[in-house]
């Protein structure tokens, strides 16, 4: 009998979930694919495509009480049928021979145990090591994944590490038992572009060094072009296209694959509207047709709506029992925001870009500087004086799941700020305004009566935008507001933001680590590093001719596909 060249073989996998006593939802509809030995296969698709559900089925991590894996489904690892194994044996294989890196390291790592303890626990449980052996091996692993000063970091808690370092700890934990198969589920989605590149290079290096197979799950086709040997494209629980990475990128066969490749903003063009998935599937958008382009930039005659000078913000950190030290998060930041224009703010985590936005909204108290808005200094105002300005400057937060009250209906979420700020003569008028805004952001009128958990991430972000619009703001701070969204949903939200700016003349401070998105939507770009502004220019000029070495390093880290 000839040995199979594949490490993992999935055949006719069908998975349903019980919605209630009578109804089920089929999430995966009979998919089949192979993962060869010593290869990297990318599973690509939007949220709801079934890609993560399929990987959790391989790991045996789907909830037992609500999951139905249909007869005829097969998941074979090294010739062994995983779906037929007893729980204990399955757990041993999936802890040692198959490992998984999850999307959000902070929720995957236990905050009350040191990272050294958590990695060592894996080694003691699956490899039978003593505490001393496990600690020595943990130090080697932390060094292998590029953690700086591993002798110190081994005793650190997850909350004391950056997002990139936490993800490296998750990778160290995953490779601790030298697995044959590593499943990486959106491991770089919320990371800065430079950290994202480092993690991708680390996974590729480990795959070659350890002769592992890697199943890489993502919604970003442009990202996997640099790491995958083969690409499998999923939508609505079925495989739409499969082939060698170069083939899928250079000559995609399926219309959905072509749509995924074209929905993401590009560095070499800026269409008036970004095409979305449905535009390609319906034929409204086609390849080879030149789209109308949008001009960007700030002119000498553009009126400034906000002028910030020497803005500073410090935090005081405890040191020892009685000591404290100053951490300067924002250092002498100055800029001008033109009316009806967008200022993009970019930089890695810890650069101070979000702190700038929160300080302007007085969610942080400034340590110094000024911010002139309508002739008044937002920084120097008392809380009473600032109250009417809350209407005029609003924020869209990064996480649409955490920024909406789960106990309020969408109607209550939209009506509350209007009541607080006495917008509208009566509740009837406010309700009519809420219905109009829901329609304006592309949601049905019935959404008014539903709760946030009944909506997708993209729809929740639209609700958050509608809530901001109830205030009719002049300035909108968008803090990583599209970073966690699928490429097609991201395109829809970016189009919506642009439409609203065109209609209402709002000014945006657009904070993001995604440099492709920033170039698309920004007239001017401000680059921050360690709390300071290192470069500022019109977006076209900055991307065409970056002056600062840090800016050049950010641009060099942008994934450009295969």
Based on the fold, state whether residues 215 and 358 are members of the same structural domain.
no
Looking at residue 11, its pLDDT comes to 96
Looking at residue 1, its pLDDT comes to 45
CB 338 within 8 A of CB 506: no
Based on the fold, state whether residues 62 and 179 are members of the same structural domain.
yes
Q: Is residue 143 in a domain?
A: yes
pLDDT at 365 over 70: yes
Residue 531 DSSP SS3: coil
Looking at residue 238, its pLDDT comes to 96
> Who has greater pLDDT, 161 or 111?
111
Looking at residue 98, its pLDDT comes to 94
Q: What is the DSSP string of 404-454?
A: S-TTS-HHHHHHHHHHHTT-SSSHHHHHHHHHHHHHHTT--GGGGGS-GGG
The separation between CA 430 and the C-alpha centre of its own chain, rounded to angstroms, equals 33
pLDDT in tens, 10-34: 999 999 999 888 889 999 999 999 9
pLDDT at 322 over 60: yes
pLDDT at 556 over 50: yes
Looking at residue 461, its pLDDT comes to 85
475-479 and 507-511: which strand pairing?
parallel
Looking at residue 288, its pLDDT comes to 60
Closest Cα partner for 77 from 31, 16, 43, 36? 36
Based on the fold, state whether residues 236 and 94 are members of the same structural domain.
yes
pLDDT at 331 over 80: yes
Q: Is residue 483 in a domain?
A: yes
CB atoms within 10 A of CB 111: 10
Based on the fold, state whether residues 353 and 211 are members of the same structural domain.
no
Q: Is residue 290 in a domain?
A: no
Q: Pick from 190, 209, 243: which residue ends a domain?
A: 243
Looking at residue 559, its pLDDT comes to 74
Buried (b) or exposed (e) across 466-479, using 16+ Cβ within 10 A? bbbbbbebbbbbbb
Does this model's pTM top 0.85?
Answer: no
Ranges 63-67, 513-517, 534-538: which has the least confidence: 513-517
CB 308 within 8 A of CB 333: yes
pLDDT at 383 over 80: yes
End-to-end CA distance of the chain: 37
Buried (b) or exposed (e) across 4-26, using 16+ Cβ within 10 A? eebbbbbeebbbbbeeeeeeeee
Looking at residue 165, its pLDDT comes to 83
Looking at residue 338, its pLDDT comes to 95
Contacts of 331 (CB under 8 A, 6+ apart): 312, 352, 530, 531, 532
Looking at residue 363, its pLDDT comes to 92
372 backbone dihedrals φ, ψ, rounded to 5°: -85, 120
H-type alpha helices, 179-232: 193-210, 221-224
Contacts of 378 (CB under 8 A, 6+ apart): 360, 362, 371, 372, 386, 389, 393
Q: Pick from 212, 243, 274: which residue ends a domain?
A: 243
Closest Cα partner for 261 from 220, 228, 211? 220
Share of the chain above pLDDT 70, in %: 97
Number of domains observed in the structure of the chain: 2
Nearest 5 degrees, angle CA 146-CA 148-CA 154? 95
CB 155 within 8 A of CB 116: yes
Looking at residue 454, its pLDDT comes to 83
Ranges 180-184, 316-320, 440-444, 505-509: which has the least confidence: 316-320
Residue 37 DSSP SS3: coil
Distance CA 448, CA 451 (A): 8
Share of the chain above pLDDT 90, in %: 49
Q: Is residue 260 in a domain?
A: no
Based on the fold, state whether residues 351 and 236 are members of the same structural domain.
no
CB 413 within 8 A of CB 471: no
CB 534 within 8 A of CB 528: yes
Distance CA 329, CA 408 (A): 34
pLDDT at 103 over 90: no
Distance CA 89, CA 465 (A): 49
CB 495 within 8 A of CB 273: yes
Mean pLDDT for the stretch of residues 93-110? 83
Q: What is the DSSP string of 340-384?
A: T-EEEEE--TTSSHHHHHHHHTTSS--SEEEEEETTEETTT--HH
**259 HSE (CA, 13 A, CB side):** 26
Q: Is residue 229 in a domain?
A: yes
Q: Is residue 206 in a domain?
A: yes
CB atoms within 10 A of CB 149: 10
Mean pLDDT for the stretch of residues 470-489? 84
Kindly report the CATH number assigned to the domain that includes residue 93: 3.40.50.300
Based on the fold, state whether residues 95 and 223 are members of the same structural domain.
yes
pLDDT at 205 over 60: yes
Distance (Å) of CA 67 to CA 28, 54, 226, 372: 11, 12, 34, 56
pLDDT at 561 over 60: no
pLDDT in tens, 399-455: 777 789 999 999 999 999 999 988 988 999 999 999 999 988 888 888 999 998 888
Range of the domain at 135: 36-69+85-243
pLDDT at 47 over 60: yes
Based on the fold, state whether residues 40 and 176 are members of the same structural domain.
yes
Distance CA 435, CA 145 (A): 51
Mean pLDDT for the stretch of residues 243-254? 90
**Range from 154-163, 276-285, 497-506, 552-561 that averages highest in pLDDT:** 497-506
Q: Pick from 189, 212, 243: which residue ends a domain?
A: 243
Q: Is residue 252 in a domain?
A: no
Distance CA 479, CA 354 (A): 7
Looking at residue 560, its pLDDT comes to 64
CB 497 within 8 A of CB 341: no
Based on the fold, state whether residues 223 and 113 are members of the same structural domain.
yes
Contacts of 61 (CB under 8 A, 6+ apart): 94, 100
Q: Is residue 326 in a domain?
A: no
CB 521 within 8 A of CB 500: no
Mean pLDDT of the chain: 88
CB 157 within 8 A of CB 111: yes
Distance CA 347, CA 527 (A): 6
pLDDT-derived band at 562, boundaries 50, 70, 90: very low
pLDDT in tens, 134-146: 999 999 999 988 8
């Amino acid at each position: 009998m000839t040995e199979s060249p594949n490490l993992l073989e999935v055949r006719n996998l069908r998975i349903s979930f019980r919605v209630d006593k009578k109804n089920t939802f089929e999430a995966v509809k009979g998919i089949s694919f192979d993962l060869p030995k010593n290869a990297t296969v990318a599973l690509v698709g939007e949220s709801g495509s079934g890609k993560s559900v399929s990987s959790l089925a391989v790991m045996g991590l789907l909830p037992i009480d609500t999951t139905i894996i249909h007869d005829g489904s097969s998941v074979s690892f090294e010739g062994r049928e995983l779906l037929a194994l007893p729980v204990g044996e399955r757990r041993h294989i999936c802890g040692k021979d198959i490992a998984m890196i999850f999307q959000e390291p902070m929720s995957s790592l236990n905050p009350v145990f040191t990272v050294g303890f958590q990695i060592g626990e894996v080694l003691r449980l699956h490899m039978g090591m003593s505490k001393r052996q496990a600690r020595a091996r943990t130090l080697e692993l932390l060094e292998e994944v590029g953690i700086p000063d591993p002798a110190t970091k081994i005793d650190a808690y997850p909350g004391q590490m950056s997002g990139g370092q936490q993800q490296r700890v998750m990778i160290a934990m995953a490779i601790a038992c030298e697995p044959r198969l590593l499943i990486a589920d959106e491991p770089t989605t919320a990371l800065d572009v430079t950290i994202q590149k480092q993690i991708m290079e680390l996974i590729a290096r480990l795959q070659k060094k350890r002769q592992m197979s890697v199943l890489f799950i993502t919604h970003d086709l442009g990202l996997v072009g640099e790491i995958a040997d083969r690409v499998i494209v999923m939508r609505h629980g079925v495989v739409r296209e499969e082939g060698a990475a170069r083939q899928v990128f250079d000559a995609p066969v399926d219309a959905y694959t072509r749509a995924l490749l074209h929905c993401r903003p590009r560095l070499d063009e800026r269409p008036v509207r970004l095409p979305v998935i449905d535009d390609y599937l319906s034929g409204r958008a086609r390849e080879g047709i030149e789209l109308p382009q949008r001009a960007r930039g700030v002119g000498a005659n553009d009126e400034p709506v906000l002028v910030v000078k020497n803005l500073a913000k410090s935090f005081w950190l405890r040191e020892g029992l009685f000591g404290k030290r100053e951490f300067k998060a924002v250092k002498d930041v100055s800029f001008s925001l033109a009316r009806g224009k967008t200022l993009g703010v970019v930089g890695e985590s810890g650069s101070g870009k979000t702190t700038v936005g929160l300080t302007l909204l007085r969610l942080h108290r400034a340590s110094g500087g000024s911010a002139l808005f309508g002739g008044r200094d937002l920084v120097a105002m008392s809380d009473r004086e600032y109250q009417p300005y809350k209407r005029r400057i609003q924020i869209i937060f990064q996480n649409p799941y955490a920024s909406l009250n789960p106990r309020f209906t969408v109607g209550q979420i939209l009506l509350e700020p209007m009541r607080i700020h006495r917008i509208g003569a009566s509740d009837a008028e406010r309700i009519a305004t809420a219905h109009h805004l829901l329609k304006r952001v592309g949601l049905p009128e019935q959404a008014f009566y539903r709760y946030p958990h009944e909506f997708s991430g993209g729809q929740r972000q639209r609700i958050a935008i509608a809530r901001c619009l109830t205030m009719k703001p002049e300035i909108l701070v968008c803090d990583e507001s599209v970073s966690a969204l699928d490429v097609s949903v991201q395109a829809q939200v970016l189009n919506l933001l642009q439409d609203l700016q065109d209609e209402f003349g709002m000014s945006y401070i657009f904070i993001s680590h995604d440099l492709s998105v920033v170039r698309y939507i920004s007239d001017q770009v401000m680059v921050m590093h360690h709390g300071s502004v290192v470069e500022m220019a019109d977006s076209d000029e900055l991307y065409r001719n970056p002056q600062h070495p840090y800016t050049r390093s950010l641009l060099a880290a942008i994934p450009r596909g295969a």
